[in-house]
Each structure stands twice: as C-alpha cells, then as structure tokens.
Amino acid sequence: MFDGVHIGHRAVFERAESFDEHGAEAAVFTFDSESLSDKHGKSYRYVVPNSLKLDMIRQAGIKNICCADFSELRNYEAEEFVKVVLAGRMNAVKVVCGPDFRFGRGAAGNVDSLRKYGAKYGFEVSTVDPVVVDGNVVSSSRIRELLSEGDVKKANALLGYSYKIKRSVEDGNHIGRTIDFPTINQSFEEGQLIPAYGVYATSVVIDGKQYDGITNIGVKPTVEKEAKPLAETHILGFSGDLYGKTLEVSFSDFLRPERKFDSLDALKNQIKTDINKRLAE
C-alpha cells in the first residue's frame, strides 16, 4: 500500500526506475489510504493521509500513479487482480515488489503466484530485498507500532524523513493565548493513526521559513472534556494569524506524556519547561 512511503518503499521505486524496457515508464499502483479502514476484515490505521502519500511518491521521482479504491477491488481473486489491474490497467512489462508482497482476495496471492501469473500475462517479476535498520526489517506495521508508542526517533529512521502531519489550521478555544502560549490546532483525518498522546519536539514551515515548535497530541485534559484528539502546536518565535492555512508539522522527538494539570498556571509552567527542553536539543 506504500503506507508512510518509507525507505523500503523507496528501494522498490528505485528498482522500478532502473528498468527501461520497450519505452515503459516507472509507475506505482496503490490504494487510497482512506479506503483501507477495513482491510481484510481487520481495523486499519494509516500512517499518512492519501494526499500526502501521493505527494511523497511524486517527490520520490514517480510520475505515474494509479490510486484505486480498495472497496472496488477487495473481492478480486488473485489472478483477476493480475489480469485486470497489473496486466490490464497498468500494462505492466515488469512488476517490482518486496518478497512478502500479497495480493488478491484475502491476500491469497504471493510472489510465487505472481511469477506464475506474470508468465501467463506477459510480465516479469523483480523482488527487492527487505531494508534492515538496527536489525529490524523496515515495514509500515513496525512504524505504526513505534508511533503508537511515541518513539518518533526510531520511526523517523525507518521512514527516512521526519514523521509529519499536513492539515488545515482550525479555530480553537484560544486558551493558549490567555497563558501567553498561542497554538495552532490541526485535526487528524478519519482512519489516520494517531501517535501516542504527549508533547513532541517539532518544526513548522511557514512561508518558506522553518520554526521550532512543541506539539501536544491528545485531548487537552486540563481544559477540555470529551474532546477529540488534536495536534496543538506552539510555534516558537512566530506571531500571526494562521487560521485556514495548510501547514506541515514535522516531529523529531518525544518530550513527555500528556497529563492533566491542576491549574492553568501549572500548565503554563510546564510549557515553559517543554520549550526549554526543545531549545536544548
């Protein structure tokens, strides 16, 4: 699915781009991330929204992308998927994948069956060895585990970039302004994986300039009841109106878990501590 577009995925892209046969161009087939909420009967949470995933695939040098709705193809048997999608829609002459690639209804197809169908429908199969970091195979599932634990440093090592969110800035309750720490609020998309609640060291790019930030992911228990999870970022050294703008916030480290404070003064003092810790990095 290329969820997260991590360094293992980029190795697949590089292999595909290395082939130049019969005028064929490198292309990627993927599923719309938002259509994967119930993949193979299991609840699924994606690392990045579909629009950001497609942007990153293009930035990796792939110009041709076929992005399908999973619900439209989920009942295709393995051979039907190969015939209709890979041989038909993609007109593939060579298919590049990882050794654990699965496809078709119930993930019944594997690399061996892909080679068999490739011989029948006119394409070759090339597999890319797994990328290993610190003794662990890079995978989207491992990255999801790390983010769920708040370990963005290790997640970033597997991603090959800093984990990020890119969302429109929403209006909030403005409590941050009352304690001298204004923030921007960004919500997560439905079905998107939400990292462990807590405060993170982040950076934000505004009009081409990068600013340091601290971001709280969670439900703001000191000031809210039954709130939906948000990413709330205080941008160091910036003053201005950002409501309605789409901003990219990149995460570099986990500073502390989210907690409820007895008063706004206690919260304010903790934010000062968080900022000092951020600046010391």
Question: Of the ranges 25-29, 231-235, 260-264, which one carries the lowest mean pLDDT score?
Answer: 260-264
* pLDDT for 224: 72
Q: Is residue 232 pLDDT above 60, yes or no?
A: yes
Question: What residue ranges do the domains of the chain occupy?
Answer: 7-136, 163-279
Cα distances from 27 to residues 19, 21, 69, 91, in angstroms, run: 11, 13, 17, 10
Which percentage of the chain shows pLDDT scores above 90? 81
pLDDT band at 227 (very low <50, low <70, confident <90, very high): confident
Q: Is residue 20 pLDDT above 80, yes or no?
A: no
Q: Is residue 43 pLDDT above 70, yes or no?
A: no
Q: Is residue 177 pLDDT above 60, yes or no?
A: yes
pLDDT average, residue stretch 211-232: 88
* pLDDT for 178: 74
Q: Note whether 7-136 and 163-279 share their fold.
A: no
* pLDDT for 153: 97
Q: Residues with Cβ < 8 Å from 97, sequence gap 6 or more?
A: 12, 111, 114, 125, 126, 127, 128
pTM (predicted TM-score)? 0.91
CATH 2.130.10.10 fits 163-279, yes or no: no
Give catalytic status of residue 232 as yes or no. yes
CATH tag for 7-136 (out of 3.90.105.10, 3.40.50.620, 3.30.1300.10, 3.40.50.720): 3.40.50.620
Q: Is residue 80 pLDDT above 60, yes or no?
A: yes
- Choose, from 170, 232, 248, 258, the residue flagged as catalytic: 232
Find the length of the chain. 281
Provide the token pair at 18. Answer: 């290395």
pLDDT one-digit tens code per residue, 121-161: 999 999 999 999 999 899 999 999 999 999 999 999 999 99
For 77-111, give one letter per residue: b (16+ CB within 10 A) or e: ebbebbbebbbeebebebbbbbeebbbbeeeebbb
